[in-house]
Copies of this chain bind each other. A is one copy, B any other.
Amino acid sequence: MLDPVSRVRRFNRAVTSAVGALDHSFLGRGRPLGAARVLNAIGQGCSDVGEVRDYLGLDSGLMSRLLRSLEDEGLIETQAHQDDARRRVASLTRAGKREFAAYEALSNTQAEGFLARNAQREALLAAMDLIASALTRDRIALAETDPRSDEARYCLREYYAELGRRFKQGFDVSLSRDPDAKDMRRPRGSFVVAMSDTLPIGCVGLKGTDHGYAEIKRLWVAPSARGLGLGKRLMAVAENAARTLGIALLRLDTNSALPEAGQLYRSTGWREIQRFNDDPYPDLFFEKRL
């Protein structure tokens, strides 16, 4: 009852029953769970039939029948894939969109109800983020993204907020050299966001300069995703991007108030160098030759 494994198992029992309750509420819409799941997958943007099948782990025969039953209900339409007529793509009809919205409303109501019933709202959300990140650690997708995208800007906001908390003197973006978005876009640079499901949980920027090197900027990993080796993965992707852009020398600056960052750089082939800019915040400078 007090050992870690029992605590994990108590958690498992609690969420199993909660998941069961949500499934049960889905049944209330008069459709078997299998069909409801397919409808929701399609609504979420899994349009390719094969993609849905893989996502839900269904047999192709079963999948086919579920699609037919949704078609008979008038909720979806299927047509051949543009480039490959063997594949089929499904899309929601108007009625299908209404029905999908009803399922979404059920899920949202359940989530809101959970939050409303409990005090400690922020603590609960943080706990959920942490656990979801741990559970989906093998499904974290790193993707090159425009630094002006919603995901990227969410990451940057969180990053600045964290610097503000961790620097004694606080942090004001405008005081720092805020790299222009276009320097972190191909072909001058790159910007990579780590997504776990629909939540951005990390980022890194590669900023092109005119000084014969590129800079690594804005490396951030969400608190809920630390300890998963995500920092290393992000850095590796950024370095690879630099290689494909023909960049031979990387530099970065950081602050000794972020010891885990310095540690990461030292352990992945970066060497400390003299200050190479006059930004007021950093007090540590690194370089790596690719």
**A161 on the interface (CB 8 Å rule)?**
no
Q: Is the CB of B118 within 8 A of A137?
A: yes
**A125 on the interface (CB 8 Å rule)?**
yes
Interface membership of chain A positions 183-196, coded 1 if the CB is closer than 8 angstroms to chain B and 0 otherwise: 00000000000001
Stretch at the interface among A9-17, A59-67, A74-82: A9-17
Q: What is the CA–CA distance of A10 and B107 in the complex, to the nearest angstrom?
A: 11
Q: Is the CB of A135 within 8 A of B15?
A: yes
**A226 on the interface (CB 8 Å rule)?**
yes
Knowing A130-B127, A197-B10, say if A108 contacts B5 (CB, 8 Å).
yes
Question: A13 touches which one: B124, B197, B228 (CB < 8 A)?
Answer: B197
Number of copies: 2
**A131 on the interface (CB 8 Å rule)?**
yes
Q: Is the CB of A18 within 8 A of B115?
A: no
Knowing A1-B200, A7-B125, A111-B12, say if A120 contacts B226 (CB, 8 Å).
yes
A127 — which chain B residues lie within 8 A by C-beta? 126-128, 130-131
Q: Nearest CB to that of A198 among chain B residues?
A: B1
Which residues of A, 100-147, contact B by the 8 Å Cβ criterion? Answer: 107-108, 110-112, 114-115, 117-121, 123-132, 134-137
Q: Is the CB of A119 within 8 A of B12?
A: no
A114 — which chain B residues lie within 8 A by C-beta? 8, 134-135
A126 — which chain B residues lie within 8 A by C-beta? 127
A258 — which chain B residues lie within 8 A by C-beta? none
**A174 on the interface (CB 8 Å rule)?**
no
**A199 on the interface (CB 8 Å rule)?**
yes
Question: Nearest-CB distance from A199 to chain B (Å)?
Answer: 5
Q: What is the CA–CA distance of A126 and B13 in the complex, to the nearest angstrom?
A: 16
Knowing A11-B129, A15-B135, A134-B124, say if A119 contacts B151 (CB, 8 Å).
no
Residues of chain A having any CB pair with chain B under 8 Å: 1-2, 4-19, 22, 107-108, 110-112, 114-115, 117-121, 123-132, 134-137, 150-151, 154, 196-200, 226-228
- Would you mind naming 29 contact pairs between A and B with Cβ atoms under 8 Å apart? A1-B199, A1-B200, A4-B111, A5-B108, A6-B199, A7-B128, A7-B129, A8-B111, A8-B114, A8-B125, A9-B108, A12-B110, A12-B111, A14-B131, A14-B132, A14-B136, A15-B15, A15-B131, A15-B132, A15-B135, A16-B19, A17-B135, A17-B136, A118-B227, A120-B134, A120-B226, A120-B227, A127-B127, A127-B131
